Structure 1
Amino acid sequence: MRVQKGRCLCGDLAFAVEGQPIDVIHCHCNFCQRATGSAYLIETLFAKEQFRLLHGTPRVFIHTSIRARAAASAFMFVSATSAGPRHICCSSDFRIPSGVYSDTFDKKDWFVRRPEKALYFYLSNAPVGKVLPSGHQVFDAHYWRSDGVAADAQIFDVHTLVTEHLKAESKKRLRDHEH
Structure 2
Amino acid sequence: MMAPNASSKTAIRHGSCLCGKVRYQVTGEPLTFFVCHCGNCKKATGSAFMTNTFFLEKNVRVFEGKDQLSCFRDTNTASGVALRRYFCSKCGSNVLLSSEQKDNNLTIVTFGTIDDKVAWFPRKERFPEHMLPFVKGINLNPKGLARPKL
TM-score range, shorter chain: 0.7 to 0.9
Alignment-mate amino acid for residue 59 of structure 2: Q
Aligned residues: 129
Aligned 8 A contact 2:85 2:94 in 1: no
Q: Distance in 2 between matches of 1:101 and 1:45?
A: 9
Could you report, residue by residue, the CA deviation over 1:61-95 in whole angstroms, capped at 9, with x for unpaired residues? 1110245542223221455xx5231141x412894
For the 8 Å contact 1:77–1:84, the answer to whether it is kept is no
1:60-139 correspondence to structure 2 within 5 Å: 60-66=71-77, 68-77=80-89, 79=91, 83-88=93-98, 90-92=99-101, 95=104, 97-107=106-116, 109-113=117-121, 118-133=123-138
- Equivalent of residue 21 in structure 2, options 8, 12, 21: 12
Question: Corresponding residue for 2:7?
Answer: none
TM-score (norm 1): 0.63
Tell me what 1:59 maps to.
Answer: 70
* TM-score, L = length of structure 2: 0.74
1:38-57 alignment to 2 at 5 Å? 38-56=47-65, 57=67
Segments of 5+ residues of structure 1 without an aligned counterpart are 137-179
- C-alpha separation between the residues in 2 aligned to 1:126 and 1:7? 27
Contact conserved, 1:24 with 1:43, CA < 8 A, in 2?
yes
Aligned CA distance change for structure 1 residues 96 and 38 (closer, same or farther; 3 Å): farther
Instruction: State the AA in 2 paired with 1:70.
Output: A
Instruction: Output aligned runs, 1:135-146, within 5 Å.
Output: none
Contact 1:13–1:84 (Cα < 8 Å) also in 2: no
Query: CA-to-partner distance for each residue in 1:44-65, whole Å, 9 max, x for gaps?
Result: 1101111001111211211102
Instruction: Give ranges in structure 2 of 5+ residues lacking alignment.
Output: 1-9, 142-150
* Greater relative CO, 1 or 2 (CA 8 Å, sep 6+): 2
Distance in 2 separating the partners of 1:111 and 1:51: 19
Name the counterpart of 2:148: none
Q: Is the 8 A contact 2:53 2:108 kept in 1?
A: yes
Amino acid at match of 1:123: P
* Cα drift, residue 11 of structure 1: 0.9
**Contact 2:124 2:140 (8 Å CA) reproduced:** no
C-alpha spacing 1:37/1:61, structure 2 compared with 1 (3 Å): same
Q: Which residue of 1 aligns with 2:4?
A: none
